[in-house]
Amino acid sequence: MEDFNEINRLEGKIYKVSELNFELKKLLEGNYPDIWVEGEISNFHHHSSGHMYFDLKDENSKIRSVMFSGDNRNLKFMPEDGMKVLARGGVTLYLRKGEYQIVVRYIEPKGKGALLIAFEQLKKKLKAEGLFDIKYKKPIPFLPSRIGVVTSLGGAVLHDIKNVLNRRFENHHLVISPSSVEGESASSEICRAIDNLNQYGKVDVIILARGGGSLEALWAFNTEEVARTVFSSEIPIISAVGHETDFTISDFVADLRAPTPSAAAEMVMPEKSELLNQIYSYITRLKTSLPRVTTNLKNQANYLYGDLQKAISVIINERKSSFKNLSEKLNTLSPLAILSRGYSVCCMVPEKTIVRSSDDIKIGQQVDILLYKGNIVCEVLEKDAYEKVTDICK
């Protein structure tokens, strides 16, 4: 058996695993510090730490990749499984597992641009949440007393809006909430300008406006923070960003989309001359139709009056007949009707209490006798028992 020391002498140094991995790590990082790799993303995982872990693969092989949070926080899009990308970074070796990987510092979609991918991703997300639904669209007031405008003070957009409004309705009231419309701070400024108008609370509608430009130039209107601010605004918002062929996320979330800022001004304010023409037309039609309407109303009133008289006459006759029947029934039950048949009512004097029995009265006492017609006062000279009276009545 060969001596171990002899093998070491003949074959060279024997490495520990960690030593070999460290040497390979230096070798990889020294030879591939900055490379581009084309591949398809798979097994993508966005860790709670902010780091992104995924594989880059082609039809024959794959390599582990990582993009740390410090590098990915400014990505315009979210990487997804199946997305073909170009990744730039350095090759290294993960000492703990002995696996080599690419530390990606920059990544971009292959084919479609990053901004277009981000646009489509955010559009899909917000649509799924219902932010584009027609049921959430607030109506635009017909003749707003105050119009809010969110745009840049230095651009031609504000000038165009003023010109259109002056031409259509010169005594309008404009409230401007200025904001930059391009650049890194534009999104937050747009949100703040919209919030300021909502807090002010004295405008009836807001025009969110910007002139045309590239997707990059319009990007402030494609951010999630602007989309949610537009959606949550209590004041209706017209999105007028770019040219007629430009579409932004704010267009889909807003209550109304205008193809251009000038078109937004036309939508929000009717022409005063047209309104006056309509009013004059209504006045003319009213003057023409009023006599006819008055005549028709008079005829209807006369017709209803005749019907009312007939109805009253029928009701009165019915009431008379009913009253007569009730009166006859009442007369039948009346004490006077009984007295008319020869009966009378005898009362004591002066108590006026009714005498019901001969036992209730004494000889010589006066009684008041009520007849059918009149009454008489008598003195009791004689009284008989009930049995005798009964015999007399027979």
User: Is pLDDT of 393 > 60?
Assistant: no
Q: What is the pLDDT of residues 360-369, one digit of tens each?
A: 888 888 888 8
The closest of 230, 203, 191, 211 to 148, measured between CA atoms, is 203
Greatest mean pLDDT among 143-152, 299-308, 348-357:
143-152
Instruction: Calculate the dihedral angle through the C-alpha atoms of 33, 37, 40, 42, rounding to the nearest 10 degrees.
Output: -10
Is the pLDDT at 84 greater than 70? The verdict is yes
Instruction: Provide the mean pLDDT of the chain.
Output: 87
- Could you tell me which residue, 74 or 168, shows the higher pLDDT? 168
- What SS3 string covers 13-64? CCCCHHHHHHHHHHHHHHHCCCEEEEEEEEEEEECCCCCEEEEEECCCCEEE
Q: Which residues of 89-107 are buried (b: 16+ CB within 10 A; e: fewer)?
A: bbbbbeeeeeebbbbbeeb
pLDDT of residue 216: 84
Least confident of 67-81, 114-128, 260-274, 319-333: 319-333
Q: Which pLDDT does position 328 carry in this prediction?
A: 75
In this prediction, residue 165 carries a pLDDT of 94
Name which of 84-98, 152-166, 376-390 the model is least confident about.
376-390
| Region 185-203 average pLDDT | 96
pLDDT at 9 over 70: no
Q: How confident is the model at residue 3 (pLDDT cuts 50, 70, 90)?
A: low
Cβ contact 190:221 at 8 Å: yes
Edge-to-edge strands of the sheet including 345-348? 345-348, 366-370, 375-379
Length of the chain: 394
11 vs 330, higher pLDDT: 330
Q: Considering just the CA atoms, what is the radius of gyration of the chain in Å?
A: 52
Predicted confidence at residue 394, as pLDDT, reads: 44
pLDDT grade for 392, boundaries at 50, 70 and 90? very low
pLDDT the model gives residue 387? 58
Give residue-wise pLDDT tens across range 218-228: 999 999 999 99
Q: So what's the pLDDT on residue 293? A: 83
Is the pLDDT at 7 greater than 60? The verdict is no
Beta pairing class for 52-57 and 237-241? unpaired
Q: 0.85 cut: is pTM over it?
A: no
For residue 205, the model assigns a pLDDT of: 97
